Amino acid sequence: MGGLYSEYLNPEKVLEHYNYTKETLDMQETTSRKVASAFIIILCCAIVVENLLVLIAVARNSKFHSAMYLFLGNLAFSDLLAGVAFVANTLLSGHVTLSLTPVQWFAREGSAFITLSASVFSLLAIAIERQVALAKVKLYGSDKSCRMLMLIGASWLISLILGGLPILGWNCLNQLEACSTVLPLYAKHYVLCVVTIFSVILLAIVALYVRIYFVVRSSHADVAGPQTLALLKTVTIVLGVFIICWLPAFSILLLDSTCPVRACPVLYKAHYFFAFATLNSLLNPVIYTWRSRDLRREVLRPLQCWRRGKGVTGRRGGNPGHRLLPLRSSSSLERGMHMPTSPTFLEGNTVV
């Protein structure tokens, strides 16, 4: 075991593994690669900004401190970190890869695995919360904050363990024949384990939303009419986008775990599949948050204040007594309105 960890700082190991698994080592920075890298970085910056606005909106307004919104905040946080991790991954790819030590390589790939898996676990937590809200079960009780924090903490702990297994020893250093083609320092058995776990999570989410679908279909006036259509529409969007974004990446990893070295050329294009999967972090706030009118208004508030403030600053010779009134808080806008404990399913308001 000591010999294995001694290889973690060997600068020749990454080159050795890439030489074994790759047909060619074309690491030159061509114009097309630079354009692709720039596009990915811009995309990830959009992910960071988008999810940061959601986090600010959830944190600043106590109305969004319910279970649903706290899980949404956790999803936004994991998606934000996924964007940051993918930027780092992009900047440390290409010709930089071969100059990394194994421990640096494990940190690069492990950070992406941790944040992306945390996003998936957050999606699962939201699906569970929607099922609980629909069933009108008082799951959390008086110590709901503690239980929610425990659930969120458990999801991150599992993600850290899952992403950290290779650096803890489950890798293929000194075992080239066991190496993955897509991730040349990862063992194929580890890749297969990750694909299996993510597939189980996907099936669990599908099962939960199928159950929600049948509950809505069999319900009566309390969840009928426009509420039913809004719920089914949201479920379709959630499942469709999740499957479209992640299924190609799962498929390429599953193929990698079973394909002999250099036998499947499509594996050398795997970075496109992972980049496509990252779109899920961009679309999650659109699916789960933009369909909530209240949260959308709160998310856009900083942008509206900035635009109005810029307009006031740009005025010259205006009435010095005129001042821009700040936007009212969401609580004052909604004062006197009944706010349910769990978000409702009406179109334009918060839905699953």
- Asked if residue 159 lies in contact with residue 77, where contact means CB atoms within 8 angstroms, the answer is no
Decide if 323 is inside a domain. Answer: no
Residues 6+ apart with CB under 8 A from 288: 72, 75, 126, 238
Rounded distance between C-alpha atoms, residue 116 and residue 285, angstroms: 15
Q: Name the residue range of residue 170's domain.
A: 9-305
Q: What is the number of structural domains in the chain?
A: 1
Rounded distance between C-alpha atoms, residue 5 and residue 126, angstroms: 39
Rounded distance between C-alpha atoms, residue 166 and residue 19, angstroms: 20
Of 116, 123, 124, 199, nearest to 162 by C-alpha is 116
Of 65, 103, 54, nearest to 285 by C-alpha is 54
CATH code of the domain in which 231 resides:
1.20.1070.10
Is pLDDT of 53 > 70? yes
Neighbours of 90 (CB within 10 A): 20
Rounded distance between C-alpha atoms, residue 279 and residue 263, angstroms: 29
pLDDT at residue 148 in the model: 80
Decide if 58 is inside a domain. Answer: yes
Three-state SS for 225?
coil
- At how many degrees (to 10) do helices 144-168 and 188-218 cross? 150
For residue 266, what is the DSSP state? G
- Percent of the chain clearing pLDDT 70 (strictly above): 73
pLDDT at residue 326 in the model: 42
pLDDT at residue 110 in the model: 93
Model confidence at 325, in pLDDT bands (50, 70, 90)? Answer: very low
Between these two residues, 81 and 133, which has the higher pLDDT value? 81
Is pLDDT of 328 > 80? no
Decide if 211 is inside a domain. Answer: yes
- Residue 220's Cβ-side half-sphere holds a number of Cα atoms within 13 Å equal to 0
Residue 235: both structure tokens together: 């479920």
Decide if 258 is inside a domain. Answer: yes
Least confident of 231-240, 242-251, 258-267, 338-347: 338-347
- Asked if residue 41 lies in contact with residue 204, where contact means CB atoms within 8 angstroms, the answer is no
Decide if 314 is inside a domain. Answer: no
Decide if 40 is inside a domain. Answer: yes
Neighbours of 182 (CB within 10 A): 24
Decide if 341 is inside a domain. Answer: no
Decide if 348 is inside a domain. Answer: no
